[in-house]
Structure 1
Amino acid sequence: MVTTSPQAPADGDPYRADCPTRRILDRIGDRWTVLVVGVLAEGDARFSELRRRIDGVSQKMLTQTLRALERDGLVTRTLYPEVPVRVEYALTEAGRTLQGPLEALREWSILHLGDVAESQQAYDRAG
């Protein structure tokens, strides 16, 4: 269940710079967040699997993204005391609620890829 913090304003306004919703939108709008949530939507994953599946993400950016998502309560990190130690990441209940909206964005980007590319080329030619 997703709840609001007692300090959070009940009527969040992401258009105000000081509103906490702005930071949440920054987090979920980040490209690495979108991709990490997409992979974790398929099931728990180890760091190395996330890095392999998300082409182009550096170790540093993946680490930062996972830590931020964990801090925000969207991802859990589970350490298994094995030799060698195994760490897995999973979406929390709140993180799972992002799957639908982020999947819609992914599908939109695929559907409109050609239109956007054409617009970019036309803009560049006119510039």
Structure 2
Amino acid sequence: MSNPAVMPYGEAGDLPSVRAFVREQAEASGLDPGSIEALAIAVSELVTNTLQHTTGGGQVRVWAEHAAVFCDVADGGAVPSFPRAMPAPDAERGRGLAIVEMLCDDVTTIAEPGRTVVRLRFATKPRH
């Protein structure tokens, strides 16, 4: 992992700053505008899950390598499973992780001591 930009978060009021941080880092890393917005939505879903289902907040890391932009969302919660099926239309909850998976080129989970990491990958397009 090459020098990721890092931002901690801990409350719902941090969401706009987290989205702005992710957009800025993704743009600087060469991600196209549509993928930047998809990444911001995916991160927003994951951060919201952290804030609703865990304590202690978390951390977002963004970096580019191997023709891709990566984003880790780390928290103290349980490891989510992927792939995720989209819930039934009348379900009240459960769409967030399915949406994350649909938006990203790849989603992986990593269990580390004391925390869980959801890693998102978006391929970058060559600049001409």
TM-score, scaled to structure 1: 0.26
Structure with a larger share of its residues in strand: 2
TM-score, scaled to structure 2: 0.26
Q: Greater relative contact order (Cα 8 A, min sep 6): structure 1 or 2?
A: 2
Structure with a larger share of its residues in helix: 1
